[in-house]
Amino acid sequence: MAVPVIAGLGTAQPSSADQDELWTGFFAGHYSGATRALARRIFANSGVSRRQAAVSPLLEDVSEWPTERRMRRYQVEALPLGREAAGRALAAAGLAAGDVGLFVVCSCTGYATPGLDIMLARDLGMAPDTQRMFVGHMGCYAALPGLGAAGDFVAARGRPALLLCAELTSLHIQPVAARVDTQQIVSHALFSDAAVAAVLVPDGRGYALREVTALTDTSTADHMTWEVTDTGFRMGLSPKVPQVLSKHVRGLADGLIARHGADRSGVDGWAVHPGGPRILDVVERELALPERALAASRETLAGHGNCSSPTVLLILDRLLRQPVPPQRVVMLAFGPGLTLYAALLERQD
């Protein structure tokens, strides 16, 4: 069977704004009284300095929009972002859209039929027999099962696959709550918009996808939720999430690495989804990583916020652009379930 190799990445992001500008220009007026003071502290300690938004709260307040209106706007904004990211990934891999055998799209922030997979296949010029897969509502870890599905296709069929993760979290700012809702404040302080695409090819140069693995602790399924409401999608984030990660992340990562004849000391690239600063602190502690190991993850959180499914690919892109790219990369992402996903990549010249 062919070895699936990541041969090209492409990113696309809307306009960005400073975190302090977002606070003073919108969120300071979104809250009042004691809630405003709490929100200010959460924003200040979020680890985020800049974020991107296709629908900026500095220009439009979507917090009272009904879900239908948000979904219609999703179609308008997501298509050009997805087209830009996919086009850049294909160019980086030296492929045309017509070469793609499988097109995988991950998104949990908008739904439509025909969806992004169909409309982008049309706009990019994919072949009529291109297979498509849409991965919805998996949240922040969706890029890794998406990579796994694309990699399995490449290995079995010997044809290229294209993965696209596109999220517009800016469409889901919630109305002002009647009582203090810390989980919504955290969500409003962290989340951002982005689209990232990856091209996987059989063999060749790039980063070989050695394995994708997962672990789900269903006893904590209520710790992270993403509910469809009449006013968009509502995030639930329990403060207990870092405790669950601390219980499972070491075994998941070490087992993955060991199955390929290595240990943590042999990993020189870590792409860890920054659900927030505490998540990165827990992973760093439990895996006994040196401070610089998660620099790319912290820098991505600072410059881009938490973009849900594209984020771990943004971190990978940052790692691969270093003057000396890593030889072996472990990717870790977390989301509803409570689910942990991990992937192992190895540089192949």
**b vs e for 240-253, b when ≥16 Cβ sit within 10 Å of the residue's Cβ?**
ebbebbeebbbebb
**Residue 45 CB neighbours (<10 A):** 12
Assigned token pair, 343: 């992937």
Candidate list 108, 140, 165, 307, residue with the active-site label: 140
DSSP three-state, residue 188: helix
Nearest CA to 230 out of 166, 174, 180 is that of: 174
Contacts of 43 (CB under 8 A, 6+ apart): 19, 22, 23, 27, 189
In the chain, the N- to C-terminal Cα span, in Å, equals 19
In the residue annotation, 140 being an active-site residue is answered as yes
- How far is the C-alpha of 291 from the C-alpha of 151, rounded, in Å? 31
Tokens 């007026």 belong to which residue? Answer: 29
Query: Would you name the residues annotated as active-site residues?
Result: 140
